[in-house]
């Protein structure tokens, strides 16, 4: 376009040279030329600016298209998320409404469960305290058991030692006349009738007195024992009755009393000894023969260790 204007100006000048014009007209035409060139320069600047603006707009359009595509992807992603969120919202809303509908029952259940929990906690505390108490009690009981075991062991040893001491003291007598045994923690000295008494008599003969004196010597220093003298008979009624002896029971008691007096006279403490009689009512064997009846006619001296210490421990149980 610039070349076009330049060509036009040259043609115009050539025409002017070939023509005769006035100076005024010439000046006008020159001024017009300058003006036209200025306008041409302005249009060129405007064109350049327009071209630069067009370039910027083209770049912006390209970026806008790219951004539009990205936004479209984001919109589709957001739409999918919105759909998912709406679905989740609907589920949560339905669950919430269901919870609201069941809130009354849940509150009741919660209250009931809380009460049960408190009851369990209370029971647990009681059980814990009881367990602690039982632990203490168990320890005390174990201590008492050990003490009892020691006492019983000592008692058993003392009883066995006493039995051996009595047996050694009565070695001179026949086994048919007397026996010494340990039963239920006690020493049983069983003396046959033929060693002590004549038939129906309550007087101890000389041989029997000797045996009782030896027995008294073996036990008189034992201050931690109790002695029971028991008289026994067979079931044959006594031959001679008197004011003080009507039957076998009276006979058994009187015989026990006679033996008791001999033992105490020989040194056994009266506070440690008791006389009793069981007559025919505690036989060793059935009174079915003379031999069996002879076994039943006896005196048993039962020596029991003092269990006060044992009873004291049991009493604090």
Query: Residues 2-39: pLDDT tens digits?
Result: 565 666 666 656 665 555 557 788 888 888 888 888 88
Give CA–CA dist 203/191, Å, rounded.
14
Pairwise CA distance, residues 255 & 197, whole Å:
8
Q: Which of 29-38, 97-106, 203-212 has the highest mean pLDDT?
A: 203-212
What's the distance, CA 298 to chain centroid? 59
Cα-Cα end-to-end distance for the chain: 133
Separation in Å, CA 57 to CA 72, 98, 237, 246: 22, 58, 153, 153
Domain check: are 204 and 295 in the same one? yes
Q: According to the model, what pLDDT value does residue 242 have?
A: 87
pLDDT bucket at 314, cuts 50 / 70 / 90 = low
Given pLDDT bands bounded at 50, 70 and 90, which one contains residue 209? very high
Q: Which residue has the tokens 């992603």?
A: 77
Kindly state whether residue 154 falls inside one of the protein's structural domains.
Answer: no
**Quick one: 174 and 308 in the same domain?**
yes
Taking the model in full, what pTM does it have?
0.54
Contacts 24+ apart (CB under 8 A), 174-177: 177/211
Question: Which domain, by its residues, includes 53?
Answer: 1-123
The predicted pLDDT at position 213 comes to: 95
27 within a domain of the structure (yes/no): yes
The per-residue pLDDT for range 226-257, each reduced to its tens digit, is: 999 999 999 999 988 888 899 999 999 999 99
Does residue 284 sit in the same domain as residue 187? Answer: yes
On whether the CB atoms of residues 212 and 227 are closer than 8 A, the answer is no
Number of structural domains in the chain? 2
- Predicted local distance difference test score (pLDDT) of residue 300: 97
116 and 179, same domain (yes or no): no
% of the chain beyond a pLDDT of 90: 37
Residue 309 has pLDDT above 70, yes or no: no
Query: pLDDT confidence of 316, banded at 50, 70, 90?
Result: low
Question: Is the same domain home to 115 and 16?
Answer: yes
Amino acid 111: pLDDT = 86
Are residue 308 and residue 183 in the same domain, yes or no?
Answer: yes
Q: What is the mean pLDDT of the chain?
A: 84
Q: Are residues 119 and 175 in the same domain?
A: no
Kindly give the pairing relationship between strand 273-279 and strand 225-232.
parallel
Q: Is pLDDT larger for residue 115 or for residue 19?
A: 115
pLDDT for position 210: 93
Enter the tokens of residue 135.
């632990």
At 279, is the pLDDT very low, low, confident or very high (cuts 50, 70, 90)? very high
Domain check: are 66 and 2 in the same one? yes
Both 192 and 116 in one domain: the answer is: no
pLDDT digits (tens, 9 = 90+) for 132-187: 777 777 787 787 778 777 777 777 888 898 899 999 988 888 888 899 999 988 99
What is the per-residue pLDDT across 119-136, written as a single tens digit (0 to 9) for each? 888 888 888 888 777 777
């Amino acid at each position: 376009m610039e070349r076009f204007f330049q060509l036009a100006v040259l043609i115009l000048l050539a025409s002017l040279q070939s023509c005769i014009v006035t100076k005024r007209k010439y000046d006008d035409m020159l001024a017009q030329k300058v003006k036209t060139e200025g306008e041409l320069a302005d249009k060129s600047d405007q064109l350049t600016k327009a071209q630069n603006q067009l370039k910027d707009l083209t770049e912006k359009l390209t970026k806008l298209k790219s951004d539009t595509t990205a936004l479209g992807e984001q919109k589709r992603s957001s739409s999918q998320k919105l759909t998912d969120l709406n679905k989740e919202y609907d589920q949560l809303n339905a669950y919430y409404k269901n919870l609201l509908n069941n809130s009354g029952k849940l509150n009741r259940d919660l209250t009931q469960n809380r009460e049960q929990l408190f009851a369990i906690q209370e029971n647990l505390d009681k059980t814990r305290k009881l367990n602690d108490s039982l632990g203490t009690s168990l320890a005390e009981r174990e201590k008492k058991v050990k003490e009892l075991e020691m006492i019983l062991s000592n008692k058993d040893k003392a009883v066995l030692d006493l039995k051996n001491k009595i047996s050694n003291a009565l070695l001179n007598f026949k086994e048919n006349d007397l026996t010494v045994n340990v039963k239920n923690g006690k020493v049983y000295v069983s003396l046959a009738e033929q060693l002590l008494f004549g038939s129906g008599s309550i007087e101890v003969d000389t041989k029997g007195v000797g045996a009782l004196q030896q027995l008294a010597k073996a036990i008189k220093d034992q201050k931690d024992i109790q002695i029971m003298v028991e008289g026994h008979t067979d079931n044959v009624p006594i031959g001679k009755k008197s004011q003080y002896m009507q039957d076998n029971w009276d006979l058994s008691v009187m015989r026990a009393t006679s033996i008791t007096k001999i033992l105490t006279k020989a040194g056994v403490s009266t506070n440690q000894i008791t006389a009793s009689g069981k007559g025919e009512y505690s036989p060793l064997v059935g009174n079915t023969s003379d031999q069996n009846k002879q076994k039943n006619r006896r005196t048993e001296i039962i020596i029991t260790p003092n269990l006060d210490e044992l009873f004291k421990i049991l009493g604090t149980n």
